[in-house]
Amino acid sequence: MMAIATAVGLSAHSGARNEWVVDCPASELAPRLRRLVEELTLVDLFATTAKGSRPRLTAVLDAPGDPAWLVVHCDLPEAAFPSLSAVSHAASWYERDILEMHKVMPQGHPAPYPLRQGKSGEPGPKRAGGAAGAGDDSGQRPKQRPAVTGQGVFELPLGPVRSGPQESQGFSFFSGGEDIVVTDITLGFKFRSVERIAEGRAPADVILLAERIAASSCFANALAFSRAVERVIGAEVTPSEQFTRTLLAELERAYNHLGVIGRLAEATGLQVAAAQFSLMRERALRASGRLTGHRYLRGALRIGGTEVVPPEGDRVWLRSEVEAWRSQALRLRHLLEGTSTFVDRLDTTAYLDPGYAAEHNLVGPVGRASGIDSDLRRDHPYGAYSAVEFVVPLLSLGDAKARYTVHVMELEQTLGVLLQLLDRWPHAQPPAPLPKLRSGSALGWAEAPGGATVHLVTLDEGGRVARWRARPPAVVNWHPFAHACASGNNLTDFPVIEASFGLASAEFDR
């Protein structure tokens, strides 16, 4: 990582452990950052603005096989920067987000349309204030995405209020009757500005906000946030608390994988199968409730450890539960894969080719079903993951069937990890006193059920959160959704497509 930065002509200094930080002069941003984005994997790109100060662009980069991260900061002299979208498709949505929320123009962006829907069709909500020097940019950028036209093409809108108890989100299907020609996603309906609400608060309270980014990645986001704070202050977590964190993170993966598979069964009309997975999911949620007092593991984490460590009685009980889930999951998998109405609906549906997935740096089961071999638990180990064995399922077929298979294989791996953790549980040690909170900045990360979640946290002198950027997996994985919808699918395939991606709107609209 260091070598690449030097080769590009930037001198990196070390931040927290396994983290290199580079300050890039604005005049050299275009050639240097473009080269880094070409050589490395772009994990996150965002701007920070404050009233009266210059906007700052930050990129987080990762290299395969290197446990270190690279964070590039650049103070921009004006509210604009050269777009990276020409070299990396992954940068496209980040740059549109930067333009929309901070009025910082990615110069040369091929399609700088608003990402979010605002009230009455205007572009989405803005950050109050905006960058210094950001004037009225209405002349610079288009307000609306281009219309889709053609003989017999009509638009079928869906949402934001959906048919069942689902999240608010808008979709527009352009179709000539059956085939989906183009899909347009409208995000931003539920944008709550979580990161901004956190500013000025104590990290212990921001953990609770991180849990409320999305219930589907509740524990993973809280874990990533608290690990970032721990890396700033140098806190150590005792082995039994590391095991508890890993156990709860895997429990969260288990009930989310069960949810995705259950929704797939429902989307293909298999009511009994959906009910069976719902039963299993409820059991996993109740187990979470028994261990932590909360069905979605909220309030279980604290900076420097966990609020609860399951006593031996609970661990013995959980072990027998997980054994039961494992044999039940195997039986149901066998039944599902022997049901032709299930397999036929998934086969070749919503194909996402590995090339596209690689260009967009997709994460999680969506990426792993299209040949992206990444998993933070293995690539950037944390918690107790080095104490257990697991494999990261990898397929390259890229259709809904492949995504289902990755989910079902990951569920089996997760249950295996839970058993290993329970068998190798360390003796409890008294927690070390927490170091005093101080100023600094560090990355924190965790593998959420939907993929990598990466947080960059900056604390001020008083130890309060000055800036917090969360990048949950759905921020990346919503991008290919529209593309996958339109690749030869019918309107009736949509429930299967949506279920197979298993994306949370709340993670994007945080």
Partner 1 sequence: MSRWILRGLRSGIRTTRFPSPTPPYEEGASSTVRLQWQRLSAPDALAAAQMCPSGAIQAQGTEVEGELTYDAGRCIMCGRCARHLPQVFLPVKDGRVAVRQRSSLVTRVGWSAANRPLPLELGRAAEEVRQRAVRIFRHSLHIRHVDAGSCNGCESELQMLTGPYADLHRLGIFFTPTPRHADVLLVTGVVTVNMERPLMETYAAMPEPKLVIAAGVCAVSGGSFAGGPVTRGPVDRLLPVDVHIPGCPPTPQAMLHGLLLAMNRAEDRPGPEPEEVADGA
Out of 64, 128, 147, 151, name the contact with partner 1 by CB under 8 A: 128
343 binds partner 1 (CB under 8 A): no
Q: Smallest distance, Å, CB 8 to partner 1?
A: 38
User: Are the CB atoms for 28 and 82 separated by under 8 Å?
Assistant: no
Q: Does 344 bind partner 1 (CB under 8 A)?
A: no
Q: Where are the alpha helices (DSSP H) in 383-439?
A: 400-423
Q: Is 119 in the site for partner 1 (CB under 8 A)?
A: yes
| Spatial separation of the C-alpha atoms in residues 292 and 310, rounded to whole Å | 8
Tokens for 246, please give them.
């890993």
Picking from 318, 340, 322, the residue whose alpha carbon sits closest to that of residue 330 is 322
H or E segment and range at residue 476? helix 473-477
- Smallest gap from Cβ 227 to partner 1, in A, equals 19
Which C-beta is closer to partner 1: that of 36 or that of 332? 332
Smallest distance, partner 1 to C-beta of residue 298, A: 7
299, 354, 463, 495: residue in contact with partner 1 (rule CB under 8 A): 299
How far is the C-alpha of 200 from the C-alpha of 206, rounded, in Å? 10
Q: Give how far the C-alpha of residue 356 lies from the chain's centroid of Cα atoms, to the nearest Å.
A: 18
CB of 117 to partner 1, least distance (A): 6
**Sign of the CA dihedral with 321 first, then 325, 326, and 328 last:** positive
Helix, strand or coil for residue 490?
strand
Give the number of other Cβ atoms within 10 Å of residue 176's Cβ: 12
Binding of partner 1 at residue 388 (CB under 8 A)?
no
Q: How far is the CB of 156 from partner 1 (least distance, A)?
A: 15
The nearest distance, CB 147 to partner 1, in angstroms, is: 22
Q: Is 165 in the site for partner 1 (CB under 8 A)?
A: yes
Query: Token pair for residue 130?
Result: 């905006």
DSSP string, 351-381: ---HHHHHHTT--HHHHHTTT----HHHHS-
* Residues 455 and 221 sit within 8 Å (Cβ to Cβ): yes
Gap between the Cα atoms of 26 and 412, Å rounded: 48
Q: Which of 18, 168, 396, 420 binds partner 1 (CB under 8 A)?
A: 168
> To 5 degrees, how large is the angle CA 327–CA 328–CA 333?
100
| Backbone torsions φ then ψ of 502, nearest 5 degrees | 55, 40
Measure CA 271 to chain center.
30
CB closer to partner 1, 46 vs 277: 277
Regarding beta strands 69-75 and 56-62, do their DSSP bridges make them parallel or antiparallel, or are they unpaired?
antiparallel
Interacting span for partner 1 (CB under 8 A) from 43-51, 164-172, 384-392, 475-483? 164-172
Q: Interface with partner 1 includes 117 (CB under 8 A)?
A: yes
The yes or no reply on residue 167 touching partner 1 (CB under 8 A) is: yes
Determine if 331 is a binding residue for partner 1 (CB under 8 A). Answer: yes
335 belongs to the binding site for partner 1 (CB under 8 A): yes
Residue from 52, 139, 164, 177 in contact with partner 1 (CB under 8 A): 164
Q: How far is the CB of 282 from partner 1 (least distance, A)?
A: 5
Looking at 34, 253, 257, 281, which residue binds partner 1 (CB under 8 A)? Answer: 281
| Under rule CB under 8 A, residue 109 binds partner 1 | no
Q: Give 89 or 192: the residue with its C-beta nearer to partner 1.
A: 192
Selected from 143, 145, 286, 424, the binder of partner 1 by CB under 8 A is: 286
Under the binding rule (CB under 8 A), the answer on residue 339 touching partner 1 is: yes
Residue from 93, 171, 189, 468 touching partner 1 (CB under 8 A): that is: 189
Residue 345 binding partner 1, by CB under 8 A: no
DSSP H or E segment with residue 301: strand 301-302
Q: Give the closest residue to 284 by CA, choosing from 248, 312, 309, 310.
A: 248
CB distance 326 to 415 below 8 Å: yes
Binding-site ranges for partner 1 (CB under 8 A)? 116-120, 124-125, 128, 160-168, 188-194, 196-197, 204-205, 208-209, 212-216, 218, 259, 270, 272-273, 275-276, 278-279, 281-282, 285-290, 293-296, 298-299, 307, 331-332, 335, 338-339, 504-506, 509
